[in-house]
């Protein structure tokens, strides 16, 4: 298993991005969460196998239908740093 922290910037809030990310991640069997940040970015912490995460990153770079993704920053993180549930959630 591999864990990533992803920051997506551009027009990514108010365009259904969190719901889109949750739906895509859940359908791929990934676990973690997504949330909006005060600076206008979307933050994702996600756990899964490498192949699924590579595919998930392509989805993040594309974004939801109304999003305009400008930049995606990815950091590999220690999975032990977070308590993961068995699902993918939207944090408010």
Query: Which residues are annotated as catalytic?
Result: 18, 36
Residues 6+ apart with CB under 8 A from 85: 31
| Cβ(42)–Cβ(18) below 8 Å | yes
Token pair for residue 14?
Answer: 């108010």
Give phi and psi for 51, each to the nearest 5.
Answer: -65, -45
| Cβ(36)–Cβ(13) below 8 Å | yes
Q: Where are the alpha helices (DSSP H) in the chain?
A: 17-27, 50-62
């Amino acid at each position: 298993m591999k864990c990533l922290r992803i920051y997506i910037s551009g027009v990514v809030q108010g365009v259904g991005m969190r719901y889109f990310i949750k739906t895509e991640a859940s359908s791929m069997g990934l676990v973690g969460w997504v949330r909006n940040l005060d600076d206008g970015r979307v933050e994702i912490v996600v756990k899964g196998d490498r192949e699924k995460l590579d595919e998930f990153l392509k989805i993040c770079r594309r974004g939801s239908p109304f999003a305009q993704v400008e930049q995606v920053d990815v950091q590999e993180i220690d999975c032990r740093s977070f308590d993961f549930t068995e699902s993918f959630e939207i944090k408010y």
